[in-house]
Chain A
Amino acid sequence: MRGRRNWLGAYAALVFGFLYLPVFILVVLSFNSSRTSAIWKGFTLDWYVRLLHNRLLWEAVQNSLIIATATAVIATTLGTAAALALHRRQVRGRLWVEGLLYLPLVLPDIVLGVGALVLFTALGIQLGLGTMLAAHVGTSISYVVLVLRARLSDMDERLEEAARDLGATPWQTIRHVTLPLLAPGILAAVLLSFTLSLDDFILSFFTAGPGSTTLPLRVYGMMKTGLTPEVNALSTVMLLVTAVATTLFQRLTQNRIF
Chain B
Amino acid sequence: MHKRVGLAAATVLLAALALSGCSSGSTSMASDLPRPERDPGVDMSRLSGELNVFTWTEYLPQSVITEFEQLYGVRVNYDTYSSNEEMHAKLKAGASGYDIIIPEIYMVKVLQREGLLEQIDHANVPNLKNIDSRFRGLEHDPNNDYSVPYVWGTTGIVVNKEKIDPDQIKSWDDLWNPEFAGKLVVPDDAREMVGIALRTMGYGLNTTDPEALEAAKEKLKALKPNVKAFNSDSPKDLLLGGEVWGGVVWSGEAALVMRESDEFEWIIPPEGVTIWIDHVAIPKDAPHKYTAEVFINFLLDPLVSARISAAYPYGNPNKAAEPYISAEDLANKAINPPAEWLEKAESLDDLGDEMNQIYDKIWTEVKG
Contact = CB atoms under 8 A, between A and B. Distances in A.
Contacts of B80: 213, 217-218, 221-222
Given A126-B97, A226-B58, A212 B10 contact: no
A50 to B, nearest CB: 6
Nearest to B75: A211
Interface in A222-251: 222-227, 240, 243-244, 247, 251
Contacts of B50: 210-211
A240 B234 CA distance: 28
A225 B57 contact: yes
B56 A244 contact: no
Contacts of B279: none
B287 to A, nearest CB: 9
Nearest to A208: B79
Contacts of A50: 27
Residue among A45, A124, A125 with most chain B CB within 10 A: A45
Interface size range of chain A in the complex = 35 or more
A225 B59 contact: yes
Contacts of A109: none
Contact of B6 (A36, A126, A243): A243
A121 B92 CA distance: 10
Contact of B56 (A35, A39, A221, A240): A221
B83 interface: yes
A225 B97 contact: no
Interface string B18-37: 00110011011000000000
Contact of B77 (A35, A118, A210): A210
A210 B27 contact: no
Contacts of B252: 225
A53 interface: yes
Contacts of A37: 234, 237
A105 interface: no
Contact of A224 (B28, B56, B65): B56
A243 B62 CA distance: 31
A8 to B, nearest CB: 23
Contacts of B25: 49, 53
A227 B80 CA distance: 13
A226 to B, nearest CB: 3
B10 A240 contact: yes
Given A36-B236, A37-B237, A53-B62, A48 B17 contact: yes
Nearest to A251: B3
B241 interface: yes
A221 B17 CA distance: 26
A45 B12 CA distance: 13
Contact of A223 (B94, B233, B238, B260): B233
A55 B57 CA distance: 12
B27 A49 contact: yes
Contact of B97 (A209, A240, A247): A209
